[in-house]
């Protein structure tokens, strides 16, 4: 077997054991229009005014996708999880991708 075959086999093997994190591409502009309800806790620019709420501006996009899906699936508990579970319950995968793209596109300092 050639090196090329080993590489291809390795890629397929890795894909078989890796968690599925592939999702729809997010649209930051669409996310901005969906973020109005998020602003109540996380701020207009993704910087929370209440210290116990996390800032979303500049956050890693894939992290936001995974976090929102975990809230939606009630896999995250404690703290404000009950509120976030309710907020995430009706989000589609595309909504989640769009919101994540939007918040990831904002500057972390909020300016």
* pLDDT tens by residue, 42-99: 999 999 999 999 999 999 999 999 999 999 999 999 989 999 999 999 999 999 999 9
Rounded distance between C-alpha atoms, residue 83 and residue 93, angstroms: 19
Q: Which CATH architecture has domain 24-105?
A: Orthogonal Bundle (1.10)
From the number of C-beta atoms within 10 Å of its C-beta (0-12, 13-18, 19+), residue 71 rates as: buried
Per-residue burial over 19-40, b if 16 or more Cβ lie within 10 Å, else e, is eeeeeeebbbebbbebbeebee
pTM of structure: 0.77
Answer yes or no: are the C-beta atoms of 52 and 41 closer than 8 Å: no
Rounded distance between C-alpha atoms, residue 105 and residue 7, angstroms: 34
Confidence of residue 27 (pLDDT cuts 50, 70, 90): very high
Mean pLDDT of 3-16: 50
* Biggest CA-to-CA distance, the chain: 60
Please determine, for residue 22, whether its predicted confidence score (pLDDT) is greater than 90: no
Q: Is 59 helix (H, G, I), strand (E, B) or coil?
A: coil
pLDDT at site 18: 42
More confident residue, 67 or 109: 67
């Amino acid at each position: 077997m050639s090196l090329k075959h080993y590489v291809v086999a390795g890629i397929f093997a890795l894909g078989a054991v890796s968690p599925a994190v592939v999702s729809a591409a997010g649209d930051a502009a669409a996310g901005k229009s969906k973020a109005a309800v998020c602003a109540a806790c996380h701020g207009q620019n993704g910087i929370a005014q209440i210290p116990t709420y996390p800032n979303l501006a500049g956050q890693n996009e894939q992290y936001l996708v995974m976090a929102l899906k975990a809230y939606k699936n009630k896999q995250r508990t404690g703290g404000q999880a009950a509120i976030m579970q309710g907020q995430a319950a009706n989000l589609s995968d595309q909504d989640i991708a769009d919101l994540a793209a939007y918040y990831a596109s904002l500057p972390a300092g909020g300016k």
